[in-house]
Amino acid sequence: MAGNPAFVQRCGFQVEEEIIGMKDDLIFSPRLAEKFARDDEHVMATKTALVGIIELFPNQMGKPEWFITDKLPLFDKSGQVCGLCGTVRSYETQHATMQPYLELATVAEHLKKHFRDKLDLPQLARLACMSVRQFERKFRVTFQMTPQDFMIRMRVIEACSLLARTNQPVTTVALDAGFYDHSDFARQFRKHMGQTATQYRLERRSESLKRRDLTQKRRESTSRERAI
């Protein structure tokens, strides 16, 4: 039915029109075609997606390579499965792209949990099994920011949550989010959010009221339709 340019070229064709209407056994080897057909039939029969399938698939040179495939059922207006959609991405490319983040995953999780604490670069370097200099350079290249910037962003995110769901004074929010100085909090919040903490809180509450009113109107409309 359809195929994006990357898929078309990976299957050995030049334009989408050449591949439309073809079955798997006209494009892939019998063994691959049988595997793809079984997966397709499973998705359509069970109405459930198959996500994260690691399988061999021809690369742009036509040689088999490991790819990650997702297959999702497509439904018509009556709720019946009328087809499926698949995505294919290179396992090796994705793994290579994710590798720098995986190497620093332990550090990132530590910062997410301990963003209120004082930054301890030697400790973070030990978690990453690197020297301090090597760690700082690796972190900056991977996340496009310093560990200090990462920690500050975690504090700002927590402050946003507190402002939206509590009535705590802004100064208390700043302290609970890990900022030791209100003026620094105010500066960092405006830098990252483009507004003051008070303005942010007022906007969130206004949006919450609008959503509540909209939900109420929808409920009233549904009730009237049922009554009719």
The predicted-structure confidence for 92-127, as pLDDT tens digits, reads as follows: 777 777 788 888 989 999 999 999 999 999 999 999
Q: Between 153 and 220, where is the model more confident?
A: 153
For residue 128, the model assigns a pLDDT of 93
Residue 48 main-chain phi, psi, to 5 deg: -125, 150
**pLDDT tens, position by position, 44-85:** 999 999 988 877 766 666 566 778 889 999 999 888 999 999
For residue 24, the model assigns a pLDDT of 83
For residue 4, the model assigns a pLDDT of 83
Contact status, residue 188 vs residue 173, Cβ threshold 8 Å:
no
**pLDDT tens, position by position, 131-178:** 999 999 999 998 889 999 999 999 999 999 999 889 999 999 999 999
For the chain, give the percent of residues with pLDDT over 90.
47
Spell out the domain ranges in the chain. Answer: 5-96, 104-206
Give the Cβ contact number of residue 43 at 10 Å.
Answer: 21
The mean pLDDT of 185-198, rounded to a whole number, is 93
User: Would you say domain 5-96 falls under CATH 3.30.450.20?
Assistant: yes
Contact status, residue 159 vs residue 174, Cβ threshold 8 Å:
yes
* Residue 120 three-state SS: coil
Distance (Å, whole) CA 92 – CA 31: 22
Give the Cβ contact number of residue 124 at 10 Å.
Answer: 23
* Residue 109 three-state SS: helix
Q: Kindly provide the residue ranges of all beta strands, DSSP E only, lying in the chain, ordered along the sequence.
A: 50-58, 64-75, 81-90
Tokens of residue 182, six digits: 């209100």
Tokens of residue 212, six digits: 């509540």
* Helix H or strand E encompassing 228: none
Q: Could you identify the residue written with the tokens 């109405």?
A: 47
For residue 21, the model assigns a pLDDT of 86
Say which residues have a Cβ less than 8 Å from residue 36's Cβ, sequence separation at least 6.
24, 28
Distance (Å, whole) CA 184 – CA 221: 48
* Residue 13 three-state SS: coil
- CATH fold of 104-206: Arc Repressor Mutant, subunit A (1.10.10)
